Amino acid sequence: MGRITLDKVTKSFGEVQVIPPLDLTIDEGEFVVFVGPSGCGKSTLLRLIAGLEDITSGQIRIDRQDATHVPPAKRGLAMVFQSYALYPHMSVRKNIAFPLKMAKMDPAERDRRVDYAAKVLNLTDYMDRRPGQLSGGQRQRVAIGRAIVREPAAFLFDEPLSNLDAALRVNMRLEISELHNTLKTTMIYVTHDQVEAMTMADKIVVLHAGRIEQVGSPLELYHTPRNTFVAGFIGSPKMNLIEGPEAEKHDAHTIGIRPEHLDTSAESGLWEGRVGVSEHLGSDTFFHVHDTGLAEMLTVRASGEVALRHGDKIFLTPQMDKLHRFDAQGLRIA
Amino acid sequence: MATQHSRAAARFMISPSVLLLLGWMLIPLGMTIYFSLLRYNLLMPGEHPFVGWENYSYFLSDPAFKTALINTLLLVVGVLIITVVGGVLLGLLLDQAMWGQGIVRILVIAPFFVMPTVSALVWKNMFMNPVNGLFAYAAKFLGLQPYDFLSQAPLMSIIGIVSWQWLPFATLILLTAMQSLDQEQLEAAEMDGAGPFSRFFYITVPHLSRAVTVVILIQTIFLLSIFAEILVTTNGGPGNASTNLTYLVYAESLLRFDVGTGSAGGVVAIVLANIVAIFLMRMIGKNLDA
């Protein structure tokens, strides 16, 4: 249950092709995250899998069955929407029970499943409230509950946490990861937040302009980004990308070095610059370094507190084994 | 506006408009009640003696009153059913993306801008006339006997005309309500396995309940006092088959020149309208709570 294959799937809106031919396999029980900047087609891709949009050409297979022209309800997938899309005139219980009612399930079995979902999601005390009387996090849980009761082959999440505040987002992130460990069902999760992608995913799919840039585990993407786009997108703060003579010294068009792989010193080092804004987080300090002659700005991550002030001179030395090299097309040089 | 001083000033400043509005309402109402207690007939000039409830008992015991009451309710309920059901269906149609959408929407809304007298005359002379009307022509074309709508089914014909006038209003309100429905809710229902009919009845209809309430309340206010359409088409007849309360009051005071009984009828109409309003608010008013 829950293996999804996309075979040369394309999607065009009129003349505009938003998804060029795309192949992807999602294995059973995987937590796959589609990540990319806004407008990269990740939500469209999710809606194609859900069946809410028709694909222009290609084939979608769910559990080896051709699902290309199967209506959404028959695909055995459940979706959690960005706006939660709860039914405002129904109580929490009725919201969660709605898909089972539509499936004409026996009421006793229906109640059993709804009660189970409520217990898993800590919603038991709110079953008779309306969505309007719930907080954002509770609404999110009701939306997940409505997805769980169907016991779907896979869950689809469309940026489910983007309407929550920062603290709640971290909590819900953990809860969804816990849920995945409990249910062991395939989950496809769309987000533009690379932190969510890194923390939750078994497998990340980085999308850019409808194209898959790279597929891999979070650490694979972190250690061996396939091109400059993935290198710049994954990791926080962003990787420093340097072009020009310095890159040519390493036989590359572009070299990349992550902020955490630059050693700082006040006296000596390979590169020299001037400290701009520094962000003190306690555990780490991020420096923005200017006037290095390499790039407009380099970001450096130093552990703990470092006594460097705005305008101070700073020396940087990259850890050579952590240097990434890219050619003129932006592809990684092994 | 928090201090006592500013509140007193505010009260003082709004008092002229409040007094004016109060006078505007209370003086006609008071005079109607006053006239309803007098024997006051323009055909019998002279004294207007106080007669107590005589006008009321005369009006209420008039056989035309019961007919008028039933006709009023039939007219209101009939038009409400036609406009709400028709409005929902038309709204669903107009909500679809189609070629020439803007023009079609304007055409649908157009009847609302036609004056009641004009539209009733157009219907009477150009559609329902048994000799020259379009319907008569159509019937003759099919080899059928033309139907004289306004004499055979006067109340139904008036319900039809009034529905035609109010359908745009209901359609407009219900269409905007439909457009405010979150598309993700419909998509979620689709994912949950709801077919088109289930989506309509479980998602769209509950979403429309508030708009339907507004349509029913506003239309009831205007439909209780339908007058021009009846005056222009049937004059309340044949007999009193299409007389409603408003028309009966008109007939008493301006055709029979009986101001006293007419006033009593007006007061009765006010009381009945309030009873209807109470029932309506009981039944559907809760939909308006957020």
Task: Assign B19 a pLDDT band (cuts: 50, 70, 90).
Answer: very high
Q: Tell me whether residues A85 and B182 touch, CB distance under 8 A.
A: yes
Chain B residues close to A72, C-beta within 8 Å: 190-191
Please state the ipTM of this predicted complex. Answer: 0.79
What was the pLDDT predicted at A102? 87
C-alpha to C-alpha distance for A138 and A125, rounded to whole angstroms: 11
State percent of chain B over pLDDT 70: 98
**Inter-chain contact A102–B193, Cβ cutoff 8 Å?**
yes
pLDDT at B26 over 80: yes
Provide the pLDDT for residue B289.
Answer: 67
Q: Are B40 and B259 in contact (CB under 8 A)?
A: yes
Which pLDDT score is estimated for B130? 83
**Which residues on A lie below 8 Å from B206 (Cβ)?**
87, 89-90
Domain residue ranges in chain A: 4-230, 237-326
Pairing of strands A186-191, A31-35: parallel
Residues from chain A contacting residue B193 (CB–CB below 8 Å): 73, 99, 102-103
Summarised one tens digit per residue, pLDDT across range B108-129 is: 888 888 888 999 999 988 888 8
* pLDDT at site A21: 86
Structure tokens at A263: 């050693």
B290: pLDDT strictly greater than 70: no
A59, β-bridge pairs: A7
Q: For the segment B249-282, what is each residue's pLDDT rounded down to a tens digit?
A: 888 888 888 888 888 888 988 898 888 888 888 8
End-to-end CA distance of chain A: 37
Q: Is the pLDDT of residue A268 over 60?
A: yes
**Does residue A1 have a pLDDT over 80?**
no
Mutate to test the interface with B, among A87, A96, A114, A139 (most CBs of B within 10 A): A87
Asked if A26 and A3 touch (Cβ cutoff 8 Å), the reply is yes
Whether B203 has its CB under 8 Å from any CB of chain A: the answer is yes
Could you read off the pLDDT of A77-125 as tens digits, one per residue? 889 988 888 998 899 999 999 989 888 888 998 999 999 888 888 888 8
pLDDT tens for residues A193-248?
888 888 889 999 999 888 889 999 999 999 999 999 999 888 888 898 888 888 88
Is the pLDDT at B47 greater than 60? The verdict is yes
Q: Using an 8 Å CB-CB cutoff, list chain B residues near A78.
A: 191
Taking each helix axis from N to C end, the angle separating B54-61 and B259-284, rounded to the nearest 10 degrees, works out to 70
Task: Give the contacts of A177 (CB within 8 A, at least 6 positions apart).
Answer: A31, A199, A200
Give the mean pLDDT of A139-154.
88
Quote the pLDDT of residue A310: 84
Give the model's pLDDT for residue B80: 95
The pLDDT score that the predictor gives to residue B166 is 93
Per-residue three-class SS string for A14-69: CCEEEEEEEEEEECCCCEEEEECCCCCCHHHHHHHHHCCCCCCEEEEEECCEECCC
Q: What is the pLDDT of residue B234?
A: 87
- Give the model's pLDDT for residue A72: 86
Q: What is the pLDDT of residues B187-231, one digit of tens each?
A: 888 888 888 888 899 999 989 988 898 899 889 888 988 888 899
Residues B68-94 have pLDDT tens digits of 989 999 999 999 999 999 999 999 888
CATH homologous superfamily of B53-288: MetI-like (1.10.3720.10)
* Closest Cβ opposite residue A85 in set B184, B193, B198: B184
* B112-145 burial: b if 16+ Cβ within 10 Å, else e: beeebeebbeebbeebbbbeebebbeeeeeeeee
Cβ within 8 Å, pair B191-A83:
no
Report yes or no: B187 at the A interface, CB cutoff 8 Å: yes
- Beta-carbon separation of A85 and B207 below 8 A: no
Residues of A whose CB is below 8 A from B187: 52, 79, 81, 85
Q: Has residue B167 got a pLDDT over 80?
A: yes
Q: Which residues on chain A are in Cβ contact (under 8 Å) with B194?
A: 73, 98, 102
Only one residue has tokens 């609302």, namely B112
B188's enclosing H/E stretch is: helix B183-191
pLDDT in tens, A291-331: 887 888 889 998 877 778 888 888 888 888 888 989 888 88
Could you tell me if B180 lies within 8 Å of chain A, comparing CB atoms? no
User: Could you say which architecture CATH assigns to the domain A237-326?
Assistant: Beta Barrel (2.40)
**Angle of CA points A201, A202, A204, to nearest 5°:** 60
C-alpha dihedral, A273 to A274 to A280 to A286, nearest 10°: -30
> B202 and A99 in contact by Cβ < 8 A?
no
Length of chain B in residues, anyone? 290
Just give the CATH number of A4-230.
3.40.50.300
